[in-house]
Amino acid sequence: MKSILTLLPIKIFVIRFINRLKSQIKPNYVIISSEFLGWRQQFLSSRILLLAWVILIISVMATTLNLTLIIPSLNASGDPKLAFDAVRIRQYLEVAVTQILSVGMGLLLAKSRVFSKSPERMFLLLSGLVLMPSQIIATVRGQASFDGGAWMLFYAIQAILIPVNWRSHLLSQVTVIGYFAIALLFGWRDPNVIVPASYVLGIFYTMLICLVADVGVFLYERSLQREFELRQQLRVFLHAVSHDLRNPVIGMVMTLKTFWHPEQHTAQIPQELLQQIIESGDRQVALINSLLEAHETEVHGIVLHHQRVKLHDLVKSVITDLQPFIQQANATVTYTISIDLPPVNADALHLRRVYENLLLNALRYNRPGVNLTLDAVVGEHLNNQIRCTVQDDGVGMTQHQCDHLFELYMRGPNNRQSLGLGLGLYICRQIITAHGGKIGVISSPGNGATFWFTLPI
């Protein structure tokens, strides 16, 4: 009875460990998304080229090191077993040159259209071109050798640079090691090597490295699949938000606007209440739109349609469209942008969003009656760029707020007075960065704020 009670905790631990291992090996999804498969194809193609370059450089360096340092050192040792005579040097050069040429051929094939469409096959072909030439030459000589060091190095580098498609990793390993095992069975091995002493331990370490590499690739690829699945679920959620929440809110606002007549006073529906409901609906639509825009920016990035944009005309149009907000805040807006300023190479729609966000933020977070000044200058120290500024004489900000103002979901200093998500300035930074410019703010408490950004001419 005591022995059973003693073994019970061990049994429970083993069962839990097996269940956890099963949960790791068996993913909770069956269908791999097409988005992940497409990404994996592109990733494989790019990383196969990188792997080919790395192996080619290592092969050239190793050959040079052996010819200039290792082989002369062995010959100088005086040991005839270690010395390289002319025949042995010729045999080494045959293997080394063949391997370098094979890797170079793999590099050329990886760039071809035939294998770029099938990176899995190119993966296996490159693995064979790296490791098989030495084995084939040794087999022809009747001296198939165990290159455990080279195998472990290559498979480790391969798993680090290409941590996807673990089945291809396993197949490449089985092919090379299996070829050597067949050579052993047929007796095509180096007669000077004692099998039990040199092969058994080396094969064990090689298989251990291969196992660790395959498990690492498997776990990494599985985590990537989960990430793509979560992204897909997030897109579905945002799509539901867009269609199932935004459209009803817009419909409600449009309906309420038909009842809003400030010049009339009806007892049934107070006009002030209607106005409050309409403004609340507009804020909800703005929040939903900003959330969707931020997500699209993170996933797909900013897509720009460049054209020659005159800043004077664009800023004038933005100020005209924002006149209702400017009048409501009793603000004064002055723009001193010269009409002769060189045009910028930018996306007019996105650039308009930057100015709108900066102006609306200045109106929202400052007291009524704030003065705004918009300017743009060209200087020799700006490296062929225009520096645009939006300056106000409002409450200002601390240096800590300035440093973090353009981060995701960061709001202004008076964030308690705003229901915004803090996405406007973050999107501004994404837009300006996509244009190849920079954006920032200079401010101190009580001295207003100057937002600046640069654009290419």
CATH for 340: 3.30.565.10
Residue with more model confidence, 340 or 186: 340
Residue 245 forms part of a structural domain? no
Percent above pLDDT 70 for the chain:
70
Same domain, residue pair 216 and 312: no
Q: Are 438 and 429 in contact (CB under 8 A)?
A: no
pLDDT band at 157 (very low <50, low <70, confident <90, very high): very high
Query: Is 298 a member of any domain?
Result: no
Range of 19-28, 73-82, 382-391, 423-432 with top mean pLDDT: 382-391
> Would you say residue 374 lies in a domain?
yes
Residue 264 is assigned to a structural domain of this protein: no
Q: Where in the sequence is the domain holding 361, given as residue range(s)?
A: 307-456
The whole-number pLDDT of residue 452 equals 93
Residue 339 lies in a domain: yes
Whether residue 275 has pLDDT greater than 60: yes
Q: Is the pLDDT of residue 128 over 60?
A: yes
Give the end of a domain, one of 197, 213, 230.
230
Pair (29, 172) in one structural domain: yes
CA distances for 177 relative to 95, 122, 136, 171, 400, angstroms: 18, 19, 13, 10, 59
Determine, yes or no, domain membership for 273: no
Is 60 exceeded by the pLDDT of residue 195? no
Boundary residue ending a domain (210, 230, 250): 230
* Structural domain total, the chain: 2
- Asked whether residue 315 falls in the same domain as residue 183, the answer is no
**How much is the pLDDT for 310?**
92
In a domain, 285, yes or no: no
Mean pLDDT of the chain: 78
Residues 313 and 191 in one domain: no
Give the CB-side neighbour count of residue 329, counting CA atoms within 13 A: 22
Where does a domain end: 165, 195, 230? Answer: 230
Q: What pLDDT, on the 0 to 100 scale, is given for residue 355?
A: 92
Predicted TM-score (pTM) of this structure: 0.53
Bigger pLDDT: 294 or 333?
Answer: 333
Quick one: average pLDDT of 11-37? 55
Judge if 311 and 226 occupy the same domain: no
15 lies in the same domain as 109: yes
For residue 442, what pLDDT is reported?
92
Amino acid occupying residue 271: Q
337: region left, alpha or beta (phi > 0 left; psi from -120 to 50 alpha): beta
Residue 416 lies in a domain: yes
pLDDT band at 85 (very low <50, low <70, confident <90, very high): confident
